[in-house]
Structure 1
Amino acid sequence: MGLLDTWTRGEHTADGTTHPTYRKGSGPGVIVIHEIPGLTPQVIGFAEEVVAAGYTVVLPHLFGEPEAPMNPLTVAKSMTQVCVSREFTLLATGQTAPVAGWLRSLARELHAELGGPGVGALGMCFTGGFALAMMVDPAVVAPVLAQPSAPFAVSPGRSRDLNLSPADLTTVKERAAAGCEVLGLRYRKDPAVGRRFETLTRELGDAFIRVELEGRGHSTVTLHRQQVAVDRVLDFFRTNLH
């Protein structure tokens, strides 16, 4: 039996782009955006924890092979997909990834169906900043950035960049000033995150909640999962989605 067999497969289309989705649970909506290489067993396992906590979870499938493990081969295959796709930005600064528009549309649809104050969104690693970009839409009221790592931190400027256009950053700052908090998680010595947490603190002030784990791990809620990180995410959703 596959890990996704108990999930309902669907799809979402926006602006001419269609991606598969997997859905499970009941309660307020949460969109969990997978990391590279895709919907790995660890990503699905984390999503199951969110379902068990009382949420309707939607897993967009943006790239990779569902249920494939994380290893050098699957990472290389996913990176090939990401590099040739126009939906993603790997190195550009001051830009919002085009896929953010599709994700915002998914959030609006989920919120319209489920009601309540809004939906949660969690991105991780390469997709970490996507949750922040989704915050531009009022439907997203609980954005979580797990080790945001794009654009790749290969230079000081890129390591500070939030993967947002200036206009989107302005909207995010306005929403934060109006009370929408942003949760960020990282390992303190993770080089992939660069100096983004410092940028987030400077731009969002007290609205940015930092959870920093000791060590040089990377995937805070999946491969290098720590219960304290998962608990902080669930507490954040409980506070903002109920």
Structure 2
Amino acid sequence: MRDLSIDDPLEDFTPRDFHLLGKSRRTYVSGSGPAVIVMAEIPCISPHVARFARWVRDAGFTVYLPHLFGRDGAAPTKAGALWTLGGACISAEFRAFAANASSPATQWLRALAAEAHSECGGPGVGAIGMCFTGNFALSMMLEKSVIAPVMAQPSLPLNNAAGMAIAEDEIAAIRTRMEAEDLTVLAYRFEGDRLCRAARFAAFQDALGDRFQPRVLPDTAANPDAPLKNPHSVLTIHLIDEAGQPTLDARDEILRFLEMRLHAAG
């Protein structure tokens, strides 16, 4: 078992540079089978994010881990998280405070999904976002290959608890597509999370109806030994890797969701 408190060399991932929409971005790829884009939370592709990506890979998928911010493989620290968050908030790629606008980074991520689908085949692509990138998984459904989106504690916009960080015409188009193709999005948060509040899930529910499938975990399900005391990261630092734990059950539900959409549909 890897020590999640030290840097992860990501030695079992192949680093590749994808040149899409005039931009080049390092992306770590591993596995075989249908493609799943796993987007890191602040501060980076941490050992906890890499652990989740390996679980997805070992379930029979090709994982694409794009570099979005921070130092790849670094163990998370409070100082590192604050530094990365500050940089991301002023970056032109992210709209951290826009309630009704999608981050420009999602355009590149949609192009990556299309490329991954071309490489891996199958009925489509999965997209999993966490925290700062949580909303991105839904925005990526504007790319026709994305059929299995998962939002873990979507935290944008940072200044509006009920904001969805997606343009109104885009979410309308996504709902139309979901209904036409019988698609759904899974979403996870802890009940007392101060970064992803109940108002945000209510807004998504209003916008998407029963196509939005929320899961709210009790705060007591969060790993009490995590460095962040606010219960937040369902799939990473607050996950308890023990049978019967709600966070591990959430991971398993996601793996079943990916299996149903990306394997069974093929």
TM > 0.5 between the two?
A: yes
The alpha-carbon deviation at position 81 of structure 1 amounts to 2.4
2:18 corresponds to which residue?
Answer: 12
Assess if the C-alpha contact under 8 Å between 2:134 and 2:154 holds in 1.
Answer: yes
2:138 corresponds to which residue?
Answer: 132
Q: Which segment is superposed worse, 132-141 or 171-180?
A: 171-180
1:219 aligns with 2:233: yes
2:258 corresponds to which residue?
Answer: 237
Q: Classify the secondary structure of the residue corresponding to 1:135.
A: helix
The alpha-carbon deviation at position 29 of structure 1 amounts to 0.6
1:207 aligns with 2:228: no
Q: Classify the secondary structure of the residue corresponding to 2:161.
A: helix
2:226 corresponds to which residue?
Answer: none
Q: TM-score, normalised by structure 1?
A: 0.95
Distance 2:191 2:166 in 1: 23
Deviations 1:45-75 (A, max 9, x none): 1101111111100000111001111111111
The alpha-carbon deviation at position 2 of structure 1 amounts to 4.5
1:188 aligns with 2:199: no
Assess if the C-alpha contact under 8 Å between 1:3 and 1:44 holds in 2.
Answer: no
The percentage of counterpart residues that share the same residue type is 40
2:155 corresponds to which residue?
Answer: 149
Distance 1:190 1:83 in 2: 20
Distance 1:35 1:52 in 2: 21
Distance 2:217 2:10 in 1: 30
1:70 corresponds to which residue?
Answer: 76
2:58 corresponds to which residue?
Answer: 52
The alpha-carbon deviation at position 95 of structure 1 amounts to 0.3
Distance 1:123 1:36 in 2: 11
Deviations 1:153-196 (A, max 9, x none): x3xxx211111112211111112222111000111121211211
Distance 1:230 1:24 in 2: 19
Assess if the C-alpha contact under 8 Å between 1:177 and 1:204 holds in 2.
Answer: no
In structure 2, the gaps of 5 or more residues are 1-6, 220-229, 240-246
1:97 corresponds to which residue?
Answer: 103
Q: Which segment is superposed worse, 74-83 or 45-54?
A: 74-83
Q: Classify the secondary structure of the residue corresponding to 1:171.
A: helix
Q: Classify the secondary structure of the residue corresponding to 1:138.
A: coil
Q: Classify the secondary structure of the residue corresponding to 1:204.
A: helix
Q: Which amino acid aligns with 1:209?
A: Q
Q: TM-score, normalised by structure 2?
A: 0.86
Q: Classify the secondary structure of the residue corresponding to 2:195.
A: helix
The alpha-carbon deviation at position 210 of structure 1 amounts to 1.4
Q: Which amino acid aligns with 2:185?
A: V
Q: Classify the secondary structure of the residue corresponding to 1:190.
A: coil
Q: Which amino acid aligns with 2:213?
A: I
Distance 2:189 2:19 in 1: 32
Q: Which amino acid aligns with 2:190?
A: Y
Which runs of structure 1 show a deviation greater than 3 angstroms over 4 or more consecutive aligned residues? none
In structure 1, the gaps of 5 or more residues are none
Q: Which amino acid aligns with 2:178?
A: A
Distance 2:84 2:117 in 1: 30
- RMSD, aligned CA: 1.3
2:243 corresponds to which residue?
Answer: none
Assess if the C-alpha contact under 8 Å between 2:8 and 2:46 holds in 1.
Answer: no
1:171 aligns with 2:185: no
Q: Classify the secondary structure of the residue corresponding to 1:191.
A: coil
Assess if the C-alpha contact under 8 Å between 1:146 and 1:184 holds in 2.
Answer: yes
